[in-house]
Amino acid sequence: MSGAAPARLPAYSFNFAYLDEQTKKMIRRAILKAVAIPGHQVPFASREMPLPYGWGTGGIQVTASILGADDVLKVIDQGADDTTNAINIRRLFEKTAGVRTTTRTAAATVIQTRHRIPEVPLRDGQILVFQVPIPEPLRWLEPKENETLKLHALEDYGLMHVHLYEDIATHGRIARSYDYPVLVHDRYVSSPSPIPKFDNPKLDRSPALLLFGAGREKRIYAIPPYTRVKSLDFDDHPFSIQRWDRACALCGARDSFLDEVVTDDRGNRMFVCSDSDYCEGRRGAAAPEAADD
């Protein structure tokens, strides 16, 4: 309500990787705690980011806090480097951190991902950062935070087991195809983020450090390297992953997660690798080196 015309606007510049150092320190503390208690969700004071909540702000904050000038960053969404959201997050770090980026899984030191784990096995020293929408695996069974905290503290996962059992009783199978709950280090039931259950086995004893960031829900959790991760199941209904009765139309892979592409309105489909780097690598295309920038 002041009568004066708007004042001068401030000059605007960013710290390395956008976040200020105090915030990074706070997030690193949360990450350390998360690594010390595998699978446990650690609350952190999530910040507003220049990208919307729900679009990877948790992963972005984790990545921004661990990124150093020497790191090589890869960003994927749905397994691919060229999906719109992956491009946008990579652009953010190119703009604010100026780090080298790559599309090659093997060349990256930090990989931020939404909904996939790369097909190429990760190695020691790499960090995979997951974007997580709902970190609480029990949320769909019990919406109240106060209650789910108690269930985790008491290691009371009966609710989850009954839920999975009811699926079998009703549908003949566990009707969960992604975000399939896992037991981390024989203690915490955790959400692997909405990766397809196809990727769950890659979590088990992974040589890479796996960090999970949920910005809107303000939680960080971790699976340290070589930690045991078990997908929940029953002796008579063992966990199984998706299989396709066809190969990738581009590279012929039979061992990768396939995207279904609708090619016309007469029911024709083609199936291609969701992991674009894996597919290109197999085709021996010139793409990988050239795509580095």
Partner 1 sequence: MYVAVKGGERAVANAERLLGEERRGDPEVPELSLAQIDQQLALAVDRVMTEGSLYDRALAALAIKQARGDLMEAIFLLRAYRTTLPRLGDAQPIDTGAMLLKRRVSATFKDVPGGQVLGPTFDYTHRLLDFRLAREAAAAPAAEPAPASAGAAAPRVADLLGREGLMEPATAREAEAVPDLTQEPLAFPAERALRLQNLARGDEGFLLALGYSTQRGYGNTHPFVGEIRAGVVAVEYVPPELGFAVEIAEISVTECDMVNQFKGSANAPPQFTRGYGLAFGLSERKAMALVDRALRARELGEDVGAPAQDQEFVLSHSDNVEASGFTQHLKLPHYVDFQAELHLVREMRADWERARHQTLTEAAE
State the catalytic residues.
39, 248, 251, 273, 279
145 binds partner 1 (CB under 8 A): yes
Instruction: Work out whether strand 100-101 and strand 110-114 pair parallel, antiparallel, or are unpaired.
Output: unpaired
Stretch of 32-40, 157-165, 183-191, 213-221 contacting partner 1, by CB under 8 A: 213-221
The tokens for 28 are: 């690193």
**Residue 19: which of 51, 42, 41, 43 has the closest Cα?**
51
The tokens for 79 are: 């397994």
Task: Name which of 70 and 243 has its Cβ closer to partner 1.
Answer: 243
16 binds partner 1 (CB under 8 A): no
239 binds partner 1 (CB under 8 A): no
Q: Which residues partner with 221 through β-bridges?
A: 212
Residue matched to tokens 């991760």: 229
The tokens for 122 are: 């990760």
Residue 122 is given by DSSP the state P
Radius of gyration of the chain (CA): 21
Stretch of 100-108, 203-211, 223-231, 254-262 contacting partner 1, by CB under 8 A: 254-262
178 binds partner 1 (CB under 8 A): yes
Please say whether the beta carbons of 96 and 18 come within 8 A: yes
Residue matched to tokens 């991902």: 113
Sign of CA dihedral 103, 210, 193, 134: negative
Task: Name which of 146 and 290 has its Cβ closer to partner 1.
Answer: 146
**Residue 220: which of 85, 18, 21, 37 has the closest Cα?**
37
**CA–CA dist 187, 153 (Å, integer):** 10
Which residues 45-104 are close enough to bind partner 1 by CB under 8 A? 45-50, 52-55, 57, 77-80, 82-85, 87-88, 91
Of the residues 105, 184, 218, 253, which one makes contact with partner 1 according to CB under 8 A: 218
188 binds partner 1 (CB under 8 A): no
Least distance CB 166 / partner 1 (angstroms): 15
**C-alpha distance from residue 192 to each of 133, 151, 213, 223 (Å):** 11, 18, 11, 10
Least distance CB 282 / partner 1 (angstroms): 14
Stretch of 62-70, 104-112, 203-211, 255-263 contacting partner 1, by CB under 8 A: 255-263
Task: Name which of 227 and 256 has its Cβ closer to partner 1.
Answer: 256
Which residues of the chain form contacts with partner 1 (CB under 8 A)? Answer: 1-2, 5-9, 14-15, 18, 20, 43-50, 52-55, 57, 77-80, 82-85, 87-88, 91, 114-116, 133, 144-146, 171-173, 175, 177-179, 194-198, 216, 218-219, 242, 250, 257-261, 263, 270, 272, 274, 276
